[in-house]
Amino acid sequence: MDVTYEQWLRDVQAVDIEKLGDKDHVFWRQQYDEAMRRGKAWREQAAPSRRSGHKDRRYAVAIEDDLGLGLTFWIKRSARGEVFLFYPRESSMDPHASYHLDGTYHNKIYGMKTASQQRQPLDGGFRGSEHLGMFGGHGAGPRMRDLSHFDDVIVAPPDSLSGRSGRILVDLVAPGESPAPHHREGLSIVAERVYQDASPWIVVAIAAR
């Protein structure tokens, strides 16, 4: 469901409509119309599918709207044990992050790697936790018509990921450990799952400020 022009300015762009002049409105109205067009095309996509026989594990975060469940974020642990975080957006954009077996962690967008870091290797020596980030800017995206393509789906509590405040937090933790508390200071955790299918465990939380 599309938001109104006024809601979009306030909640998405943090713009005070009372301070805009006529020329400002022309600019922002064009931006709003383009955002709504792209949002409609995004929501009309289908969520990723998984062919039978694949041994990866997939965990999704979804937002429910008037049309059903829309995918906003998903995580894959490959059969090799690597971890991938996906924002389902435009195909040319393809934003995602990956944590490789040797501990290399980087983000990628438009085919370009950014913010490459060296973390703990994903082997039997993993200790403590690794915070993979807080991810914002969510909406009910590609339609999730067949939930069997995911091993688990977290449906975000109503309004928890709307506007600018909602975040999805992802951490890797050694079995029995918890995410580092300083990454959650000032946040209210409204939903959380811990996936224990392999080591390290994957902790996914939805937070609001």
Q: What is the pLDDT of residues 90-115, one digit of tens each?
A: 666 778 899 999 999 998 888 777 77
In this structure, are 124 and 24 located in the same domain?
Answer: no
Whether the per-residue pLDDT at 59 is higher than 90: the answer is yes
In this structure, are 68 and 24 located in the same domain?
Answer: no
pLDDT computed for residue 92 by the predictor: 66
Residue 49 covered by a domain: no
Whether the per-residue pLDDT at 10 is higher than 90: the answer is no
Query: Is 194 or 136 the better-scoring residue by pLDDT?
Result: 194
This prediction has a pTM of 0.81
pLDDT class of 52 with cuts at 50, 70, 90:
low
Residue 50 covered by a domain: no
Residue 104 covered by a domain: yes
pLDDT class of 70 with cuts at 50, 70, 90:
very high
pLDDT class of 46 with cuts at 50, 70, 90:
confident
Domains of the chain: total? 2
In this structure, are 29 and 91 located in the same domain?
Answer: no
pLDDT computed for residue 130 by the predictor: 97
pLDDT class of 149 with cuts at 50, 70, 90:
very high
Mean of pLDDT over the chain = 89
Residue 38 covered by a domain: yes
Residue 61 covered by a domain: yes
In this structure, are 22 and 93 located in the same domain?
Answer: no
Taking alpha carbons only, the member of 137, 142, 164, 162 closest to residue 153 is: 142
Range(s) of the domain holding residue 33: 5-43
Residue 48 covered by a domain: no
In this structure, are 67 and 25 located in the same domain?
Answer: no
Side-chain-facing half-sphere of 61: CA atoms under 13 Å: 31
Residues 6+ away with beta carbon under 8 Å from 7: none
- State phi, psi for 70 to the nearest 5 degrees: -120, 135
- Distance separating the N- and C-terminal Cα atoms of the chain: 24
d(CA 141, CA 153): 14
Residue 51 covered by a domain: no
In this structure, are 175 and 132 located in the same domain?
Answer: yes
Residue 159 covered by a domain: yes
d(CA 204, CA 31): 32
pLDDT class of 41 with cuts at 50, 70, 90:
confident
| Mean pLDDT, residues 143-151 | 92
In this structure, are 81 and 182 located in the same domain?
Answer: yes
| Mean pLDDT, residues 112-122 | 88
Strands 57-65, 152-155: pairing kind: parallel
Query: Is 32 or 46 the better-scoring residue by pLDDT?
Result: 32
In this structure, are 18 and 81 located in the same domain?
Answer: no
- Integer CA distances (angstroms), 158 to 14, 64, 139, 155, 206, in order: 21, 8, 12, 9, 11
